[in-house]
Amino acid sequence: MKKKLLIVLAAIVLVIGTSISVFYYYHPTYYTYNDRFVIGSTPEQIVERYGEFHNVWYDTMGNVSGATYMIHDNTPEWIMSYDDSLWYDIDFDDGIAVSVRLREGWIGG
């Protein structure tokens, strides 16, 4: 009986561990956005899946060169205090997403 219980517990731990590993493989940057889907997708496909971008940048030809989603807004209420808002940045090349990253702070220049 103890041997069966040990085998069942080991199987449960294995399934949970595998599930967590697969989840982190597909969401390494931030859990809400699937990086493997985003990289290689067009802006339209990304907007269809995750909604409108918070900010979009265009190149001189009118193509999307970058876009961001706001993960959380933590804008300070005091002057000269630290803004630690979190952003999910997507870089595009020829209308296809080529890289993603998390960025902390204010989006302006």
The per-residue pLDDT for 103 is: 84
Determine, yes or no, domain membership for 41: yes
Dist. CA 82–CA 57, nearest whole Å: 25
Determine, yes or no, domain membership for 36: yes
Dist. CA 46–CA 8, nearest whole Å: 40
Helix (H) or strand (E) holding 48: helix 43-50
Specify the pTM: 0.69
Determine, yes or no, domain membership for 38: yes
Determine, yes or no, domain membership for 80: yes
Assign residue 18 the CATH number of its domain. Answer: 3.30.1450
Q: What residue numbers bound the domain in which 64 lies?
A: 2-104
Domain count, the chain: 1
Q: What are the mean pLDDT values of the chain's consecutive 10-residue runs (109 residues total)?
A: 86 87 72 86 94 92 91 64 77 93 73
The per-residue pLDDT for 99 is: 94
Determine, yes or no, domain membership for 109: no
